[in-house]
Structure 1
Amino acid sequence: MAKVGRMKLGSQGMEVSLQGLGCMSMSAFCGPPIPEPDMIALYHHAIQSGVTFLDTSDVYGPHTNELLLGKALKGGFREKVELATKFGIRTSEGKYEICGDPAYVREACEASLKRLDIDCIDLYYQHRIDTSLPIEVTIGELKKLVEEGKIKYIGLSEASPSTIRRAHAVHPITVVQLEWSLWSRDVEEEVIPTCRELGIGIVAYCPLGRGFFSSGTKLFENLQRDDFLKYLPRFQPENRQHNQTIFEKVNEFAAKKGCTSSQLALAWLHHQGNDVCPIPGTTKIENLNQNIGALSVKLTPEEMAEIESLADIVKGDRYGEGIRTWKDSDTPSLSSWKVV
């Protein structure tokens, strides 16, 4: 298999593999963790295949995925990868809360550096926006961490256009990570144009619709009891059959193209522009190889439009209540904010 190519991400000089690897499912939210040796072997296979852009977070586990990745990068692998991690979601009394307080930002960064056993994080994201304080306050602390050499580039995840603009005015934002796939396209209205106007790279998470574009409703046959997919609106019984018809249409189109449905969904994203890097997650080497194969699928503008029409009407929101997204990530203005 030919090695995965490279791309520029953002306007500050960051370079990554054309496709990344989302690491969440290896350690969190998707059933019991996979044995460490298997996941380390997957990491090494990805890196040797050219998939060097690795995406984790301190909340995956929590903490266990960063520890796993730290072990996997021993023996000379650290120098071969672009490592992204995130802060901003923490647990308190068994509940998740969002925090962008400067002291917490620094504490979280130091803890991630220690778990990953590295000196500098290549790309450090605010995982979710703390709407209780101005974004400028959080980015101000991240700017200090850049100046101290603890992080190279700053990213935002699930941020609104106004939040992105205000953050970018404090320190250049290199990447915005967002959910973007054939059935999650509302970010195309304002968020993505804002990123492009400002020269910010785009990282697409859940590019396979949380696995739906790999296997449709068969996805549910092997879900573990604690898999959070069971609770997402699009996967509820009242929406499942309608959405299955979307998968079947996409799968039929893929068969005509001589590829799998997941490769088609990924290829659609790769064709969105040279500033877009999808980060599909997997726990299996064969799936990783298949995802890499999407880079060989070529689509004409007419085929792109036809594929989009197949997934035009999806039933169910991408998240249930209580999960903050870009739609409600606006923060107070600096002038109106008072430190208590």
Structure 2
Amino acid sequence: MRTRKIGAFEVTEIGLGCMSLSHAYGAPPSRAVAESLLLAAIDEGVTHFDTAALYGFGRNEQLVGEVLQPYRKRIMLASKCGMTGVDGKRVIDGRPATLKATCEASLKNLRTDVIDLYYLHRWDRTVPIEESVGALADLVAAGKIRTIGLSEVSAQTLRKAHAVHPIAAVQTEYSLWTRNPEYAVLGACEELGVSLVAFSPVGRGFLAGGVTDTSLLMEGDIRRGMPRFQAPQFEKNLGLLPGLAEMAKEVGATMGQLALAWVLSRSACIVPIPGTTSVAHLRENVAVSGVVLTQAQLERLGRIISPVNVAGARYPAATNVEIDTEDAPPEV
């Protein structure tokens, strides 16, 4: 694979989002399947692994830590704080003392002395962003984390945070059907020298053709509560896939590879982290480096699936109020 920069780190242009191995999409895979997937990523040369304290309420960090400890010096390890499980419930808490305590638990779970990239998973609106980032800066000074990231924040919040301590990366959803970063935060990242780490670059499996019947989604799968996966929006969105499938056949790639190639093309500062529980899909994702598209093909992709023809919001209303990312172009 080709490589891209996140701060001082050079990482493979396709990383691995580890969430689905423990969290969010119904019953997680067995330990054996999860371990095989992580080791296959190592074998494929992946060097960027992303987890969080929230995922499985610590279990994902423990899994990643146990399996990847022998390869620790070969990888860039990223995790997140500020949104964790408390008494079985998801809680957003950006207070400095909480962030520092979460970091200590993460270091133990990950079996490491230092976390390479540590994100504020959500901005806690009851705590000034400067205070939360100040706590993370203390962790940098203490040698517990190497660089600071933010997740799902606006350009304005990024600038406030960056004034306190350099921000290495902003993690946010970005794909053919989710273009919110283009409103402001992608431009701010390019201006400030910040990487944009794109999660769900294949639309939570939809853009790869992996979700065609929502009745088959397991109980506990977060997609069941997302407007794009609910009637009547889902049926409208299904109507977009034949055009994507036709183009994939024309260029000799998979639908998922087209989606990834499009995201990679948007800016040199973007590093996608698709997640999967399938070794075959993992290998398909990392092979995107061999997919070459012309500018005309990329523009066609952007028309086949775009905010103009996608139906439904990316999050339900209750979740959307927690997100700081711009959901409309900023006023000029």
TM bucket normalised to smaller: over 0.9
Q: TM-score, length-normalised on structure 2?
A: 0.94
CA distance 1:163–1:6, change in 2 (3 Å):
same
Alignment partner, residue 70 of structure 1: 65
Q: Does 1:20 align with 2:20?
A: no
CA positional deviation for 1:90 = 2.6
Q: Secondary structure at the match of 1:218?
A: coil
Q: 2:87 & 2:76 partners in 1: Cα distance?
A: 33
Question: Against the structure 1 CA distance between its residues 116 and 92, is the aligned structure 2 distance closer, same or farther, given a 3 Å change threshold?
Answer: closer
Do the aligned residues in 2 keep the contact of 1:217 with 1:244 (CA within 8 Å)?
no
Give the Å deviation of 1:296. Answer: 1.1
Any conservation in 1 of the 2:100–2:135 contact (CA below 8 Å)? yes
Matches of 1:43 and 1:97, distance apart in 2: 28
Distance 1:161 1:109, change over 3 A: same
2:174 maps to 1:180: yes
RMSD of the TM alignment (CA)?
1.5
Name the CA shift for 1:129/1:103 in 2 (closer, same or farther; >3 Å).
Answer: same
Output the CA distance in 2 between the equivalents of 1:311 and 1:328.
20
What is the aligned residue count?
A: 323
Q: Is the 8 A contact 1:271 1:299 kept in 2?
A: no
Contact 2:65–2:111 (CA under 8 A) maintained in structure 1: yes
Contact 2:181/2:325, CA 8 A, preserved across alignment:
no
CA distance in 1, matches of 2:326, 2:293: 34
Task: Tell me the residue number matched to 1:161.
Answer: 155
Asked if the contact 1:177/1:203 (under 8 Å) is kept, the reply is yes
Q: Match of 1:57? A: 52
Deviates more, 1:93-102 or 1:130-139: 93-102
Report the counterpart of residue 5 of structure 1 in structure 2: 2
CA apart distance, 1:230: 0.9
Structure 2 gaps of 5+ residues are 328-332
Kindly provide the CA deviation profile for residues 151-173 of structure 1, in whole angstroms up to 9, marking residues without a partner as x: 00100000111110010001000
Distance 1:91 1:35 in 2: 21
- Please state whether the residue corresponding to 2:29 is helix, strand or coil: coil
Q: Is the 8 A contact 1:217 1:240 kept in 2?
A: no
Q: Is 2:233 the counterpart of 1:236?
A: no
TM-score by length of 1: 0.92
Q: Could you tell me which residue of structure 1 aligns to residue 305 of structure 2?
A: 311
Moved over 4 A (4+): none
Q: Following the alignment from structure 1 to structure 2, what is the Cα–Cα distance between the partners of residues 95 and 145?
A: 26
Counterparts of 1:240 and 1:47, CA distance in 2: 35
Rounded Cα–Cα distance in structure 1 between residues aligned with 2:100 and 2:213: 39
